A and B are shown apart, each in its own frame.
Chain A
Amino acid sequence: MLIQQREEYDAIVVGSGISGGWAAKELCEKGLRTLVLERGRNVEHQKDYITEHKRDYEFPMRQRRIPPESPLAKDYQIQARTGQFVEAAVHFFQKDSEHPYIEEKPFTWIQGNQVGGRSLIWGRQTYRWSDLDFEANLKDGYGVDWPIRYRDIEPWYSYVERFAGITGEKLGLPYLPDGEFQKPMELNAGEKFVKAGIERAFPGRHVTIGRCAVLTEAIGDRQPCHYCGPCYRGCSTGSYFSSQSSTLPAARKTGRLTLRANSLAHSVIYDETQDRATGVRFVDTSTGETHEVFAKVIFLCASTLGTTRLMLNSKTPRFPNGLGNSSGVVGHYLMDHHFMVGARGEVPGLMDRYYEGNRPNGFYIPRFRNLAGPRSDRLKFSRGYGYQGGAGRAGWGRGIGEEGFGVELKKKLHDPGPWGVGMLAFGEALPVKENRVWLDPQQTDKWGIPLLRISCEWTQNEMAMRQDMREQAGEMLEAAGVQNVNSWDANAPGDLGAEPGLGIHEMGTARMGRDPKTSALNANNQLHDAPNVYVTDGACMTSSACQNPSITYMALTARAADHAVRELQRRNL
């Protein structure tokens, strides 16, 4: 049933995650009456963080990871592939049984399904890009050239960082620009040992405390981190950045925000007579009714693949292949960061050192390969990677894998064990046309929206890079004096292990570019074909770099919202 009730707004934002929250805040603060459509349930900041600060023994399964084989994962067969799917966070993941998709090749699509989206459960690591990243496509010929450079986004990085609150250490590296950092968190003794060893053995490589969107200094009502540890359960002091703690409250404060949960966008409404997008058609999932809402400007922030599916499903005579897809690139050039490769080992000594507090952060090793251009080191691969890791003393869990029981075992597990260190690489993936998503011609979800089919696999470049990621991880730890170093790679081509999507940095399926024939979006994130529609989530990414992408989505969204409002004022939209 179609509800005919002409609701008009200045702006519609589809999605309330990291990008949608920023779009809502910026558009509302700049005077636009804004409707946010969120397909998932409503979550109220603080009140609905139902597992926050619970002790392990308050969970029936003691907060164990829930693997796909568990009966508890019955409705979450995809979500359970990530280690983040734990008992305390199940309610922040979508049910795959309700939102299925089709894997032509293994692709793990991890999704939130609530107001705030994945910003409630994200990893919070935030690293700026540099021109090494923005120029990579131009220089090695993969994909198309980014239509922007670092100078275009630099002030917007600063703008979003000051609001979000980023802790980190300035290093002065041109290829990993410093941000507006709050005071850094501390490395522990094991990490200091590894840092000293790596930096001594490899001049030019750095080990630094992670840069992350967790406060170490208050911002307004948001309190500094209290170091309880598991951020993904929600944070009632608003200490980590999420739409819930930060952007949505700011949008609400203007009095111009309307937020509608349980509202699954179906398609963008395109008026052929006016030759412009005029609104969004959505399904109220609580009633099954279809609604249409209208606005001057539309921001698609439904997550990379959510936005792409929505665009492909917005078929009109003008756009038989989906809204804004006259180029044919929408759905192609899917990327993710490839990871699940690294090394671990034992840090000798330091038995007189420990740590206190639960730090939601680790160390970071910035990229050190191909720093003068994507192929400058003449290796077997283009571009680069960084590492994230941490050190700690072994806990009681070490008793599981060793012989011994009784009083002796209990005595041994009473004290912390030896120091261990581990690190994981995150590598850049190339944009290739064959890695793509499209709509299944027959199958739909229960609301009648065609299912997405996904076909994506790592290219030769990623495979060659992984070899180096593994070797360098092992070499660096060994050179630092770490013992019993074991390097590993979980990738199993054609199978699960390190499959695309697992990095939860999927991006690229409606890329920005200079030429409307080879890209969907222009330098301001407007659809070339429909300038009052902006796409500012991961779909817009022209390349993937190797840095965690969310801070770049934030900056691009704030920049695009500023552009949209100026264009509206000039009556250009």
Chain B
Amino acid sequence: MVVAIADTIIPETETPGARAAQVDQFVDTLLSDHFSAEDKERFLAGLTRLEARARRTHQKGFAELTPAQHTQMVGELDRLAFQEQTLAEKPAEGTTAPSPRSQESDVQVGQGVGATPAEAASPQPDAADVGRESFFRMMKELTIVGYYTSEVGQTQELRVNPMKPYRDIPYTAGTPSWA
């Protein structure tokens, strides 16, 4: 399932995608060795919700869905995960970012106000899928980090900054970024 989500976030193009870069293994390692119990719990709960939604909507496990269905479901999660940036999240200039706790309460308030009858008819998005603390933000970060720090990401998609005396150089669009 993690492979399917990751590969939807960074798909194969002319270069390999998240699947070939074995992003799922990186996610596993981080989850088991690095994450606090709380973060691990949050991540696994997000996977469970997504799987349940796939079964409810498509009567299939997420991993068995078509690429179009993957794109649709991941797109929905991505939209929700960044939704609060336009609503509650924007910190006033110069202040430090609000704590996760205050964000959560902001999100719940926002949803209550924003829900229209039409939206209420479709399954309500879970508050845990909205905003900075959402499962998808975690998943997206892990995928991007996992992919662009992999051998595939660093040497095939991007390129490794050489060990050369530092120079200010010209750049042409289309040339890969340093890994």
**Beta-carbon contact of A354 and B35 below 8 Å:** no
Given A226-B163, A353-B169, A403:B150 Cβ within 8 A: no
Partner of B173, one of A226, A396, A415: A415
Flag whether B141 is at the interface (Cβ < 8 A): yes
Is B66 interfacial (CB-CB < 8 Å)?
no
Q: Could you tell me the distance between the alpha carbons of A64 and B35 in the complex, rounded to whole angstroms?
A: 12
Listed stretches B42-50, B75-83, B103-111; interface member: B75-83
Known pairs A410-B11, A415-B173, A415-B177; A356 contacts B154 (CB<8 A): no
* Inter-chain contacts of B79 with A (CB < 8 A): 403
Closest B residue to A185 using CB positions:
B166
Query: B162 at the A/B interface (Cβ < 8 Å)?
Result: yes
Asked whether, in the complex, the Cβ of A396 is within 8 Å of the Cβ of B174, the reply is no
**Cα–Cα, bound, A59→B168 (Å):** 30
Beyond A70-B35, A187-B168, A416-B171, whether A410 also contacts B13 by CB under 8 A is: yes
Pick from B166, B172, B177: contact of A186, CB under 8 Å = B166
Chain A hits for B8, CB < 8 A: 405-406
Q: Judging by beta carbons under 8 Å apart, are B145 and A353 in contact?
A: no
Which residues on B sit within 8 Å (CB–CB) of A487? Answer: 94
Q: A57-B154, A226-B163 are in contact. Are A413 and B177 (CB under 8 A)?
A: yes
Q: Which residues of A contact B164 (CB under 8 A)?
A: 227, 356-357
- Selected from A405, A415, A416, the residue in CB contact (under 8 A) with B75 is A405
Are A415 and B175 in touch, CB under 8 angstroms? yes
Cross-chain contact B145 with A357 (CB below 8 angstroms): no
Complexed CA–CA distance, A317 and B109 (Å): 69
Please give, as numbers and ranges, the residues of chain B lying within 8 Å of A353 by CB-CB distance. 168-171
Residues of A in contact, count (CB < 8 Å): 58
Within 8 A of A (CB), among B40-90: 71, 74-75, 78-79, 81-82, 85
C-alpha spacing A399/B141, complex, angstroms = 8
Q: Across the interface, which residues of A come within 8 angstroms of B94, CB to CB? A: 486-488
Q: Which residues of B contact A399 (CB under 8 A)?
A: 140, 144
Whether a CB of chain B sits under 8 angstroms from the CB of A464 is no
Residues of A within 8 Å of B82, CB to CB, are 402-403
B169 partner residues in chain A, CB cutoff 8 A: 353-356
B123 at the interface (CB under 8 A from A): no
Interface assignment of B165: CB less than 8 Å from any CB of chain A = yes
Contact A60 B29 (CB under 8 A): yes
Q: Report the Cα distance A226→B165, complex, angstroms.
A: 7
When chains A and B are docked, how far (Å) is the Cα of A155 from the Cα of B79? 63
Q: A395-B178, A405-B8, A486-B94 are in contact. Are A188 and B170 (CB under 8 A)?
A: no
Contact between A406 and B11, CB atoms less than 8 A apart: yes
B167 at the interface (CB under 8 A from A): yes
Q: Is the CB of A413 within 8 A of B74?
A: no
Decide yes or no: A405 and B149 within 8 Å by CB, A71-B34, A355-B168, A357-B163 being known contacts. Answer: no
CA of A559 to CA of B26 in the docked complex: distance in angstroms? 52
Known: A227-B166, A403-B79. Is A351-B171 also a contact (CB below 8 A)?
yes
Residue A400, interface by CB 8 Å = yes
What is the distance, in angstroms, from B57's C-beta to the closest C-beta of chain A? 19
In the bound complex, what is the Cα–Cα distance between A63 and B93 (angstroms)? Answer: 32
Residue ID in chain B nearest A73 by CB atoms: B34
Q: CB-nearest residue of chain A relative to B9?
A: A405
Tell yes or no: A393 within 8 A of B by CB.
Answer: yes
Q: In this assembly, does B176 line the interface, its C-beta being within 8 Å of a C-beta of chain A?
A: yes
The answer to the question of A359 belonging to the interface, with a C-beta cut-off of 8 Å to chain B, is yes
Q: Is the CB of A358 within 8 A of B161?
A: yes
Residues in A whose Cβ lies below 8 Å from that of B9:
405-406, 409
A229 (CB) vs chain B CBs: closest residue: B161
Q: Which of B26, B30, B146, B161 contacts A356 (CB 8 A)?
A: B161
User: What CA separation (Å) do A4 and B75 show in the bound complex?
Assistant: 74
- One digit per residue, 1 when the CB lies within 8 angstroms of any chain B CB and 0 when it does not, for chain A 369-413 equals 000000000000000000000000101110110111111011101
Contact with B along A47-84 (1 / 0, CB 8 A): 00000000111001111101001111000000000000
CB-CB under 8 A from A72, the residues of chain B are 33-34
User: Does A60 contact B33, Cβ atoms closer than 8 Å?
Assistant: yes
A227 touches which of B39, B150, B163 (Cβ 8 Å): B163
Contacts of B161 in A (CB 8 A): 229, 356-358
Q: Looking at the complex, which one of B78, B148, B150, B170 makes contact with A404 (CB distance below 8 Å)?
A: B78
Q: Does the CB pair B78–A405 fall under 8 Å?
A: yes
A selection of 29 A-B contacts at a CB cut-off of 8 Å is A55-B151, A55-B160, A56-B154, A57-B150, A57-B151, A60-B29, A61-B33, A62-B145, A69-B39, A71-B36, A187-B168, A192-B168, A216-B165, A228-B163, A229-B161, A352-B170, A352-B171, A352-B172, A355-B167, A357-B162, A397-B144, A403-B79, A407-B11, A407-B13, A410-B11, A414-B157, A415-B176, A416-B178, A486-B94
Name 20 extra pairs, CB < 8 A, besides A405-B8, A410-B157.
Answer: A56-B154, A56-B179, A57-B149, A61-B29, A61-B30, A61-B34, A63-B149, A64-B34, A70-B36, A226-B163, A353-B169, A356-B161, A358-B161, A359-B166, A400-B140, A403-B82, A405-B74, A406-B71, A415-B175, A416-B177
User: Which A residues are closer than 8 A to B by beta carbons?
Assistant: 55-57, 60-64, 66, 69-72, 185-189, 192, 216, 225-229, 351-359, 393, 395-397, 399-400, 402-407, 409-411, 413-417, 486-488, 490
The 5 A-B pairs of least Cβ separation, nearest first, read: A354-B171, A357-B166, A359-B166, A403-B82, A62-B149
